Structure 1
Amino acid sequence: MSGILARLRLSFVSGVTGAAVAALVVGVILERVPVFLTGGGVLVLLVLIGFVPGRRLPGAVEPPATRTALARIEDLRATSGESADVPVTFRLTVAPEPEDGRPAYRVKIDQHINLVDIPAYRPRGIAVVEYRPDEPWEVRIVTRPTPEWSRRAEEAEIDSAPESTLVENPGPSEGAWCLLVLVAFLAGAALVVVLFRGELFTSGDEAAPSPEQPSVTSSASASVSVSRRFTTSTTVPGPSSSLLVLGRMRETATELAHRADASDVTAISIQERRMEIRGDSARPPGETFHIQMLPYELFPALVREARTTLGVRAPQSWRIDVTPDPGTGPGTGPRVRVTVTGEEGTAHLDADATARIVDRRPVGEGGRGR
């Protein structure tokens, strides 16, 4: 609210400045000393008003009041990045504390998350957030919460808030405020010109002002979930291209999810230049996983480990298969299996959802499959 009031004051000052400048010009053209002095006096007054507060020593500025709360992750979508921090778009259900007196609501935020921490955030998971009660759309995920809040997040269960509770920043954009300031300046100048139009324009023609009315367009979208199965694949073009290039796996996974119009899948298969996803919306949540929750940036290291430590001296091909873990129950995340093949045979390497190696099956050794 304080930011809106400050911009409104700026618009008012801009309008007065425009009128003062126009008065100076009109006073010179018409050789009207009172008009000239009035415009000049107003400009000097505005300069003094702006200069004197600037000379005061700034007091302690109180930071915006924030509250800590728990939030349910409804959905998240990450995009590829060149650094260790990956931009992620979250859709959250924020559940304020009871003493705040505010019901749970939905919000959409963008935040950079370190690629190592991405597997910790998954749909239907609970995160610790900070939000501003006066501006509830200002929400930030706390990546390093205190032990007390971490314990509360592990034990909490939060129901999804309806889509109708989604809050967004109602204020206009910075570009709209700049346009408003410019319009206020021109309106102030035009007001002075209109007052002296009879003397300025000998023709005496009066042009009726025709202000433009801003148009406001609102749109609403709704999505209907239909039970269906899908299989979608793509091939990376170019003989020298490889999905092992940093960032290419996540970029390809994002493209496939957009093409399939789905984020929860039942299996992912990745080869040198080909990626395939499969899904079934009729499956329960424990038998699917979110396509963006995987640490794709760590998969090349798993492939390198499998090719060099499992007894395959000249690997001819490799493949990554990601499926839900059937044996340890819900909440543990998918299982990642890297398979390498060469003249010696086939070897496997298993990892969890954080790319931590949990099992090895070198060439020639028997092993238990998943």
Structure 2
Amino acid sequence: MGTTGQGQAGQDADEANGQTVKRRSAASGFLDALRLSVTSGVTGAALAALVVGVIMEAVPVFVTGGGVLILIGVVAGRRSPAGEEPPAGRLALARIEDLRATNGEMADVPVKFRLTVAPDDRPAYRVKINQAINLVDIPFYRPRGTAVVTYRPDEPWEVRIVTRPTPEWSRRAEEAEIDSAPESTLVSDPGVSEGSWCVLCLLAFLAGAALVVLLFRGELFTSGDGEGAAAKPPSSSSSSTSRTFSTSTTVSGPSTSLLTFGVMRVTAMELEARVDTAYVTAITIEDHRMAVRGDSTRPVSETVHLQSLPYELFPGLVREARTTLGVRDPRSWRIDVTPGTGAGAGPRVRVTVTGKEGTAHLDADATGRVTDRRVAAGSRDLR
């Protein structure tokens, strides 16, 4: 099911659709900002009138300020509960372009996704979302995979991954092949950020209050110099990324092991945050130590995505290697994950165990399925 990559005409349609959504959203955002500015300014002026009326003992000024505040409260009270319900979300398929977990302290892990959403009734487009995914379900979401999502036609940036789709949509997701949409089709919420809304409200509020004070400055016998401190632009710092990198971490405590459920994935998240990338060229896991290596010049196809590995299945592979490869009393074990060779090949997982009979290993693919075994040379049990 190719939903994008349909030639120049398809790309032009995607870009035109994205521009239309952005124009509509920009107009709506401008009207919201204008309405908020007017309301904040009038509120500030009304409060200032109350204060000025008390200081000057001017009843008309006090009554005017109080009346305006009551009017604003009545209008706001009538608008709040009467909003129309937004259109219901629609189901669609989406290609996972990239994903990155941001925390691992709870069972539901916040993950940043970059998706290509391919609705049935409109051109495909790109979107970035944040969604909490259960720790056990994370291995099912991999780059270039297909997921079932819901989206709102009027606000296409409102996209959520359906973690438990119906059998029909699950079948469609398994059979679908979705092409990546152009970066120019990326949509995002055009609304002003919460911090910008607060600044806008504050400025309008202060402007309204200052206007009333200036009108009655003669009667108040005071004058003030309004000194507005210009906001300094945020300082920016740049750091150079080395060509190659490597780092490791050790799990402390005699009773703590990376084979404990969830510990491997949490440790991988810590290493990802340390090297500031999810794409590495090698991963080594031992009982109390995990290490990663990488090369920033290597293409993505020649790397391993840290969060796409089925860490929850690795303890079972270690247990199988320790009991079925002829090493009766394994002294140590190690997991090595490297990029696959060949087009479309996933990462290769090798579990190595060492004992007095020698060294043995088994190989598995990115889903935890065993693909090869090599028993210890000195083993009597050649299973």
Under a length normalisation based on structure 2, what TM-score does the superposition of the two structures give? 0.72
Alpha-carbon deviations, 1:195-219, whole Å to 9, x = none?
A: 11122226xx685x676777889x9
Alignment partner of 1:46 is 2:72: yes
Distance 1:116 1:213, change over 3 A: same
Structure 2 residue 127 is matched with structure 1 residue 107 = yes
Distance 1:88 1:60 in 2: 31
**Aligned AA (1:234):** S
For 1:279 and 1:50, locate their aligned partners in 2 and report how far apart those are by CA, in whole Å.
Answer: 56
Q: Distance in 1 between matches of 2:49 and 2:247?
A: 69
Distance 1:351 1:19, change over 3 A: same
Equivalent of residue 264 in structure 2, options 245, 249, 252: 249
Deviation for aligned residue 1:301: 4.3
> What amino acid sits opposite 1:342 in the alignment?
G
Q: Which residue of 1 aligns with 2:21?
A: none
> Which amino acid in 1 is paired with 2:125?
Y
Distance verdict in 2 for CA 1:193–1:235, change over 3 Å: closer
What is the RMSD computed on CA atoms of the aligned residues?
Answer: 4.1
1:319–1:142 distance in 2 versus 1, CA, 3 Å = same
Does structure 2 conserve the Cα–Cα contact (< 8 Å) formed by 1:333 and 1:352? Answer: yes
Mapping of residues 249-288 of structure 1, within 5 Å: 249-254=264-269, 263-264=278-279, 267-277=282-292, 285=301
Say whether the 8 Å CA contact 1:345–1:364 is kept in structure 2: no
Contact 1:66 1:132 in 2 (8 A): yes
Q: In the alignment, what sits opposite 1:191?
A: 211
Closer/same/farther in 2, CA of residues 32 and 260 from structure 1, 3 Å limit = closer
Supply the distance in 1 between the matched residues of 2:76 and 2:126 (Cα, whole angstroms).
Answer: 41
Whichever structure has more helix as a proportion of its residues is 2
Matching of residue 18 in structure 1 with residue 41 in structure 2: no
Aligned residues: 350
List alignment gaps of at least 5 residues for structure 2: 1-24
2:198 is the alignment partner of 1:178: yes
2:20 maps to which residue? Answer: none
Q: Deviations over 1:175-200 (max 9, x none)?
A: 22123222222222111111111222
Contact 2:48/2:65 (CA < 8 Å) preserved in 1?
Answer: yes
Match of 2:110 in 1: 87
Pairwise CA distance, 1:309 = 6.5
Q: Which residue of 1 aligns with 2:351?
A: 338
Partners of 1:79 and 1:250 within 8 A in 2: no
Aligned-residue sequence identity (percent) comes to: 68
Counterpart check, 1:125 vs 2:145: yes
* Partner of residue 67, structure 1: 90
1:355 and 1:156 map into 2 onto residues whose CA distance is 23
TM-score after normalising by structure 1: 0.74
Distance apart, 1:109 and its partner CA: 1.6
For residues 261 and 185 of structure 1, the distance between their equivalents in structure 2, rounded to whole angstroms, comes to 41
CA separation of 1:235/1:258 partners in 2, compared to 1, >3 Å: closer, same or farther? Answer: closer
Unaligned runs of 5+ in 1: none
Q: Show the counterpart of 2:55.
A: 29
Query: Which secondary structure does the structure 1 equivalent of 2:307 belong to?
Result: coil
1:64-95 deviation line (CA, Å, top 9, x unaligned): 44333222222222245233332222222223
Q: Give the structure 2 partner of residue 150 of structure 1.
A: 170
Distance 1:339 1:201, change over 3 A: same
> CA 1:84 to 1:330, structure 2 compared with 1: closer, same or farther past 3 Å?
farther
AA matched with 2:351: V
Change (3 A) 1:361 1:70: same
**AA of the residue aligned to 1:34:** P
Residues 59 and 216 of structure 1: is their aligned pair in 2 closer, same or farther, counting only changes over 3 Å? same
Q: What secondary structure, in the 3-state scheme, does the structure 2 residue paired with 1:68 have?
A: strand
- Match for residue 77 of structure 1? 100
Deviation at 1:113, TM superposition (A): 2.0
* Contact 2:325-2:382 at 8 Å conserved across structures: no
